[in-house]
Amino acid sequence: MIDALGPVTVAVPGTPQSLVASLPALTRNLKAYAILIQALSFNGGQVYVGTTGLDRSTLAKVIAVLPVPTASFIPSLGISLTIAPAGVDVGSLYIDANIAGDGVLVTLLVT
């Protein structure tokens, strides 16, 4: 089943935002087969995707940097772990951004 978490935005640049912080407590321990993280089309700056402890200034714990979208390209990151069913721990993923209000769309492949 595909589940769209919708947009996740950064309120305060420099303060990493959990991808699942806005979900009810019972669903925050999500495990997925795959995840697609796509920059919002109106982002004005870079968005950093990483794990607990993400630091955009040093790039510590950063998995990917999604550049500013253009008219013909919206950057994205796909993560899957084919050898382990439901092996992607969505609750351990965070984002940060250079500009307040920038963020990502999150789509999961779950059981």
Domains and CATH numbers, the chain: 2-109 (2.60.120)
The per-residue pLDDT for 24 is 57
51-63 pLDDT per residue, tens? 999 999 999 999 9
Roughly how many angstroms between the first and final C-alpha of the chain, as a whole number?
Answer: 6
Comparing CA positions, the residue from 76, 109, 106, 74 lying closest to residue 93 is 106
pTM: 0.91
Q: Distance between CA atoms of 80 and 44, rounded to whole angstroms?
A: 28
16-71 pLDDT per residue, tens? 999 887 765 556 667 888 999 999 999 999 999 999 999 999 999 999 999 999 99
Do the bridges between strand 103-109 and strand 2-9 make them parallel or antiparallel, or are there none, so unpaired? antiparallel
Who has greater pLDDT, 37 or 6?
Answer: 37
